[in-house]
Amino acid sequence: MPASAASLAALRARIAHLEGGAQARAVLPFGIPMLDRRLPQGGLAVGCLHEVAGGGSAAVDGAAAAGFAAGIAARLPGQVLWCVTRADLFAPGLALAGLPPDRVIHVEAGDETSVLACMEEGLRHGGLAAVVAEVGRLPMTASRRLHLAAKASGTTGLVLRRWRRQADAADFGQPTAAMTRWRISELPSAPLPVPGLGRARWLVELIRARAGESVDLELEACDGTGHLGLPADVADRPAAAGGRHAYG
């Protein structure tokens, strides 16, 4: 029905105008139709703020979340600034997710306030592809500042939420100005016919997406170029087309 498609497009344009972003934003598709369909314009908005956290006990070490963020940053062209308070990233591991050492500049700040300040500097600079910051608390005001800085320069901001204790992860429910909010938890990988470990498998939950829908999907971890994979058994399952369930 072309008439309804045209009116839908006009409505979308009006909503976009109301939101202040009159021009069409660039997006970074994941290359997984089930996921991209849920995001506005079919991909992760570039030049915005996004939040990633680990699920369950992985909220403390945030290894899967770091891999997910590295995969997104790896697919954007340019340098990446990674701000931390605890320097426990293992650079060879990042390189395996598609971020070679000559693309990452690390900043080790003393506390979370300076991590956020460094992230804002990085976002305002405009010459970077992405800025990743590992913080526990992300107040609304700080996230608005970061989001506006990211919008002004077109640099993508990824806040990797990481807490000292698992109990603090309840903070993840608080509202922020981020465009999307992701939770990445590890799942048991598919058994191999021989002893050994296959590609890691994640439960990728899109908890919140502005102008999009929530979804959770079982996906394979980032490969050497930062791309997520669709597991063969999930791809063949007809019910998977809609995700396991959608909420939010």
Applying CB under 8 A, the span of 94-102, 137-145, 204-212, 240-248 interacting with another protein comes to 94-102
Please choose, from the candidates 195, 234, 236, the residue with its C-alpha nearest in 3D space to the C-alpha of residue 215.
Answer: 234
Applying CB under 8 A, which part among 43-51, 112-120, 141-149, 227-235 lies near another protein? 112-120
By the rule CB under 8 A, 106 interacts with another protein: yes
- Contact mark string toward another protein, 216..245, x via CB under 8 A: -----x--x---------------------
Closest by Cα among 239, 238, 184, 235 to 206 = 184
Cβ atoms 82, 106 nearer than 8 A = yes
What values do phi and psi take at 219, rounded to 5? -130, 165
Number of Cβ within 10 Å of residue 211's Cβ equals 13
Radius of gyration of the chain (CA): 18
* Residue from 63, 73, 130, 219 in contact with another protein (CB under 8 A): 63
**Which residues within the stretch 173-212 sit at the binding site for another protein (CB under 8 A)?**
184-189, 191-192, 195-197, 200-201
Please state whether 56 falls in left (phi above 0), alpha (psi between -120 and 50) or beta: left
Name the residues that contact another protein, by CB under 8 A.
Answer: 56-58, 61-68, 70, 78-79, 81, 88-97, 100-102, 104-110, 114, 117-118, 121-122, 125-128, 184-189, 191-192, 195-197, 200-201, 221, 224
